[in-house]
Amino acid sequence: MQDQTQPKYFDLHVTGIGYLNRAREVPVKRGQPFLAVDVSALHGEADNVEYTRFDCRVSGKEAQAIVRQLMPAIEAERKVLVGFKLGDLYAETFTYQRGEKQGQTGVSLKARLLRITWAKVDGEPLALPSESQEQAA
């Protein structure tokens, strides 16, 4: 008789600070639409910041509620800065359809947005639906 143990998983999480852009409902041919958002993560020296963009599927009810609360500010192109946690990161290739890179291959970093620990809109702190204890970090 074989040992019936639970499967084991290895988590890969990315935490950081970044700006939210392009919040949207993504329609699916079969099944329910899902909420997605781009995260432009900040890294590097504070006086010479670099950005890495992640195309994220918003996972978890708390994260979805927060992104929905922030959608009007994102759509109004206000600066929405958040503390975030991403999981299940992977790269996907695509072909540019227009612009000066038309026909060239690009790479998109995809992930699941698991948690938003704090948020600021135009520099003003925003009360979140369920304040996370990580906010103090």
Structural domain contains residue 82: yes
- Percent residues over pLDDT 90 in the chain: 77
Structure confidence at residue 9 (pLDDT) = 81
Domain count, the chain: 1
Q: Domain residues for 58? A: 13-126
Structural domain contains residue 90: yes
List, for residues 84-117, the tens digit of each pLDDT value.
Answer: 999 999 999 999 999 999 999 999 999 999 999 9
CATH of the domain at 40: 2.40.50
Q: How far is CA 43 from the centre of its chain?
A: 15
Structural domain contains residue 131: no
Around Cβ 71, how many Cβ atoms within 10 Å?
Answer: 17
Binned at pLDDT 50, 70 and 90, residue 31 comes out as confident
Residues 71, 33: Cα–Cα separation, whole Å: 16
User: Is residue 133 scored above 80 in pLDDT?
Assistant: no
